[in-house]
Amino acid sequence: MKAFQIAEYGSTPALVDIDLPPLGPTEVRVAIEACGLNFADTLMIRGQYQERPVPPVTLGMEMAGTVTAIGAEVAGLAPGDRVAAFNGQDGLAEEANLHADRCVPLPDGMSALHAAAFQVAYGTSHMALDHCAKLQPGERLVVTGAAGGVGLTAVEIGALMGAEVIAIARGANKLEVARAAGANHVIDAESEDIRGQLKALGGADVVYETIGGAVFNACFRATNPEGRILAIGFASGDVPQIPANHLLVKNLSVIGLYWGGYLKFRPAVLTGSLSHLMRWYEDGKLSPHVSHVLPLDRADEALNLIRQRKSTGKIVVTMR
């Protein structure tokens, strides 16, 4: 079968032919239909992601498809079931052997395209805003990178939770995408005085921060007393250094979130969040935004769209 792999960290990914190993007793084999890409995939290639599986590594952290075979000890899944999975790797391939407990059955009305774009982005934002920050109706939520894969879902979920949402993104097109997702106010990330604009709108009660660097610093300085700052990522490459004395004076909390880490130490929190999100999807309350769909043989082009910040929402690679 075809798989998009790196032979070692820092090498150029390539489409190669591989054979799957025998199916383990607790695994299911999935014919992959679609794989959602994330900024983290670009970090994985460079060996800069939190997880470092032993190379060669098939890229693609989240996927959707159909179960074709099950291991001897698997219960609750059967060939023909449609599932999504977050596996951290193996998504950019025609098939994968996945642990059964990583697979989430799909609602009848959810396409593989939406399913592949759903778990990481919506899961991260819901866990961050609900479980970590405990966002309340009427609070002012600032989202940076607001037209990106996770940022756009934070705008959508924040609005659904009753927050007043301020979206920060780069350029008129991305700001319009964020506004369409539910943002009440928008600020161009290239503005010279982000802090001043945030203060003029009343400051931030919760900050969903994906960029780092100067954007983080502007939001930090515009956060209200008892505000919560969610450290989601550092797309700028500049990891901010937080002055602890400012945390003390303003009674601020900074909360880090690595969504995939919950699979190891509190999986029930993560699966409960996903179940809640699936219900919202079935009720028509969530609408995944996929800006680009490309085939597997153009996976590197798809990753370049992320590197060059030319996408909004999610990019999905299809296998067939």
- Domains belonging to the chain, first-starting first, are 2-118+288-318 (3.90.180.10), 120-260 (3.40.50.720)
DSSP state of 16: E
Closest Cα to residue 117, out of 156, 79, 143, 78?
A: 156
194 token code pair: 């982000």
Q: Which stretches of the chain score pLDDT less than 50?
A: none
DSSP state of 228: E
DSSP state of 313: B
Overall size of the chain counted in residues: 320
pTM beyond cutoff 0.85: yes
State how far the alpha carbon of 10 is from the alpha carbons of 14, 147, 296, in Å. Answer: 12, 28, 20
Query: Regarding beta strands 2-6 and 57-58, do their DSSP bridges make them parallel or antiparallel, or are they unpaired?
Result: antiparallel
Q: What pLDDT does 222 receive? A: 98
Q: What pLDDT does 131 receive? A: 97
DSSP state of 318: E
Q: What pLDDT does 264 receive? A: 87
Peptide bond connecting 105 to the previous residue in cis, omega within 30 degrees of 0: no
C-alpha 87, offset from chain centre? 13
Provide the CB-side half-sphere exposure for 304 (13 A, CA): 7
Please report, to the nearest 10 degrees, the dihedral formed by the alpha carbons of residues 6, 12, 17, 18 taken in order.
-10
- The answer to whether 250 and 219 have CB atoms below 8 angstroms apart is no
**DSSP string covering 45-104:** HHT-SS--PPSSEE--SEEEEEEEEE-TT--S--TT-EEEEE-SS--SBSEEEEEGGGEE
Residue 155 and residue 165: Cα distance in Å, rounded? 7
Q: What pLDDT does 268 receive? A: 87
State how far the alpha carbon of 241 is from the alpha carbons of 106, 205, 216, 244, in Å. Answer: 41, 20, 10, 9
Closest Cα to residue 319, out of 292, 303, 304, 298?
A: 298
Q: What pLDDT does 256 receive? A: 97
DSSP state of 192: S
Side-by-side strand order, sheet with 2-6: 14-17, 2-6, 57-58
